[in-house]
A = this chain, B = another copy of it.
């Protein structure tokens, strides 16, 4: 019989809410809707269980994981259906490198640590990675902070025989995926792009943070596109009423035969945290599979799911 994957999650934001609720949804319904891979190394979506959770927000600490995921500023919707308590109280997370051993102790049970805190605190990210390594748990970094693409850090995981996956998850389906697909489709058919724009609007805390620090994100979004020199990115718009929905408007103006106009306008609506959860559920299973196989270091099968795997610019 298959053992369940025991996951410790760092960060109790929208992405964790989507993951925790979704796993229960799939377990209860048996549905495969929205699932890319039914099984990875024999592991189904419902085989994931949570054994620890870390957060720094005082309101969340001490609450059961299944309660904490609904506290503000989280705004991913409450899915229909009962959500039984996880039996996992949220524990106080790291604010500097001083608590690594405490956290490592709390990870004794965990197969995988899913690092899902806000981006932008690389020292903390690496501190959790170190705690995971000491505890022998595979580490998955879903943020853009440099962990797996840091050669020294990766070397330590290799030496310890512990898996390390990251950095920066690529959403299952979002603006970049769609925009890039359209740009490539035009190119494949011999249609010449003239100009294109992308507008992104969202209402999550994550979005609010990105709006405050727009340039990195804009460049990273352009990096995800082919023919990017003809694409213009409008500034990100933080619109609180959208809650966890993301809305994108895309326009592509192009020329076909003899320069005649081809014009495409798109509106996309998705739930940002769903796009993360759909990928996290694969990253966690890949990490678990690597751990079972005693494959230390980076698991290359994760590469299509990441924006900055080892070897990317730091």
A interface list, Cβ under 8 A from B:
18, 21-22, 25-26, 31-37, 77, 79, 172-173, 177-178, 181-182, 185-186, 189-192, 194-195, 197, 199, 201, 211, 230, 232, 234-237, 239-242, 247, 249, 251, 255-271, 274-275, 277-278, 281
Contacts and interface: CB of A to CB of B under 8 A. Distances in A.
A246 to B, nearest CB: 10
A275 B186 CA distance: 12
Contacts of A232: 237, 239-241
A38 to B, nearest CB: 10
Contact of A239 (B32, B197, B201, B240): B197
A34 B259 contact: yes
A258 B26 contact: yes
A181 B181 contact: yes
B251 A274 contact: no
Nearest to A235: B235
A205 to B, nearest CB: 16
Given A34-B190, A191-B34, A247-B251, A256 B239 contact: no
B34 A192 contact: yes
